[in-house]
């Protein structure tokens, strides 16, 4: 537990949260600054800064709950898709974003812009060759 962590406060009942689903090791709440209606966060109960610091059981719990919550979001709000990502710049307690996304909404435009960067082959040619891809994969496998 961190002394000044809003997600720990919610996990331990010291702060309110709009809980939409939960299990023993994780809970899902509405984001209080939503990018769209139904935007949720899936959060491990234990304070851990980065999601790659989760135990195997926590990883199972978080991502199973993310799948369940995404299905609820799709059922209730009917988005084109539910975008999932992890960042952690504002709250240093691992959390998964689940954002209902519709064509041309703000998040859709952000990802469209990112895909635009991916499609700019001239700036990324140096990392796209077969040898470069193979070398990157070997580095990751050996890490």
List residues binding Zn ion (CB under 5 A). Answer: 2, 5, 7-8, 47, 93
Nearer to Zn ion, 1 or 110 (CB): 1
In the complex, least distance from residue 15 CB atom to Zn ion, rounded to whole angstroms: 11
In the complex, least distance from residue 7 CB atom to Zn ion, rounded to whole angstroms: 5
| Contact criterion met (CB below 8 Å) for 132 and 126 | yes
Helix (H, G, I), strand (E, B) or coil at 115: helix
Helix (H, G, I), strand (E, B) or coil at 1: coil
Between helix 130-142 and helix 121-128 the angle, nearest 10°, is 60
Nearer to Zn ion, 5 or 30 (CB): 5
In the complex, least distance from residue 103 CB atom to Zn ion, rounded to whole angstroms: 35
The residue with its CB nearest to Zn ion is 5
In the complex, least distance from residue 129 CB atom to Zn ion, rounded to whole angstroms: 42
Nearer to Zn ion, 5 or 21 (CB): 5
| Contact criterion met (CB below 8 Å) for 65 and 26 | yes
| Sign of the C-alpha dihedral computed for residues 47, 52, 57 and 59 taken in this order | positive
């Amino acid at each position: 537990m961190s002394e000044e962590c809003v997600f720990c406060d919610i996990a331990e009942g010291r702060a309110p949260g709009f809980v939409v689903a939960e299990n023993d090791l994780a809970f899902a709440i509405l984001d209080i600054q939503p990018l769209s209606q139904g935007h949720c966060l899936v959060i491990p109960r234990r304070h851990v800064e980065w999601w790659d610091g989760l135990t195997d059981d926590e990883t199972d719990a978080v991502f199973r709950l993310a799948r369940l919550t995404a299905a609820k979001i799709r059922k209730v709000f009917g988005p084109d898709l539910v975008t999932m990502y992890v960042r952690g710049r504002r709250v240093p307690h691992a959390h998964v974003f689940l954002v209902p996304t519709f064509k041309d909404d703000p998040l859709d435009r952000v990802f469209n812009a990112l895909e635009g960067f991916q499609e700019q082959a001239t700036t990324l040619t140096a990392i796209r060759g077969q040898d470069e891809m193979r070398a990157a994969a070997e580095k990751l496998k050996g890490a």
